[in-house]
Amino acid sequence: MRGPGVLCGSRVRIIGMSCYVAWSHVVFAHAVRRYGIDGNWSSFAALVGVGGQLPVYLSVATALSEIWVVQTYGCTPGRFQILNRAVPCSDCIDREIVQLCITGRGGVFDTSQSSNWKPLGPFQLGVNNTGTVGNADYGLDMISFYNFYTKTENQYNNVLIGAMNDTEYYQGFIGVGVNEGRFNKNLTLPLISQMARTYGTIPSHSYGYTAGAYYRHGKFL
């Protein structure tokens, strides 16, 4: 279900600019900034970890049941030259190149600076049908979103997060799938299941969101 710039959970109808909801729900308004290597898509600001880090901007991925974020080592001068060959890197100092990368990829998350990070280890990213492979440092941590409906922050702890250091995937994602993750002996619930079953924020696993390619039909996709 799509409307201009909202991510809604629960039993939702999106009409115009609003989510009409039958009962308890969350509404995460999309960020002003848009991201994507193949177009400018709606993103949602999230605070990951504990320790005052800057927000990261994530797009919705229906094929994922995990949260993916770009880790700090995903933005180095050499890596950004691969991502954006148009930048005259020979004329830039390293920190300018790194900042361009951080901005372009929607922000980065430093696992070492979060006091709540519980590492699970390095694993292959949990999507096998895209033809693109990559690895991430997986762990459990807190993630927070601003609830546009209640004007408060929704926090969820022990959320499965894959922190990427490579460039196989350009930006981070909010996975809204329901597949549980298994990491050695650790079984993890996806975020949407935690919202429904652990926290009771929403009564079901249903959702609606705006893909939000602003150049389509003049308004929204």
Q: How far apart are alpha carbons 17 and 220 in whole angstroms?
A: 11
**Residue 109 phi, psi (nearest 5):** -120, 130
CB–CB of 97/146 below 8 Å? no
Domain membership of residue 117 (yes or no) is yes
Q: What pLDDT is attached to residue 149?
A: 76
User: Nearest Cα to 48, choosing from 60, 58, 63, 39?
Assistant: 58
pTM for the predicted model, two decimal places: 0.76
Domain membership of residue 19 (yes or no) is no
Best mean pLDDT range from 35-39, 160-164, 176-180, 184-188: 160-164
85: CATH: 2.40.70.10
Residue-range definition of the domain harbouring residue 139: 30-203
Q: What is the mean pLDDT of residues 123-146?
A: 83
Q: What is the mean pLDDT of residues 75-99?
A: 60
Q: How far is CA 74 from the centre of its chain?
A: 15
Q: How far apart are alpha carbons 41 and 100 in whole angstroms?
A: 18
Domain membership of residue 10 (yes or no) is no
Tokens of 154: 């929704």
Contacts of 185 (CB under 8 A, 6+ apart): none
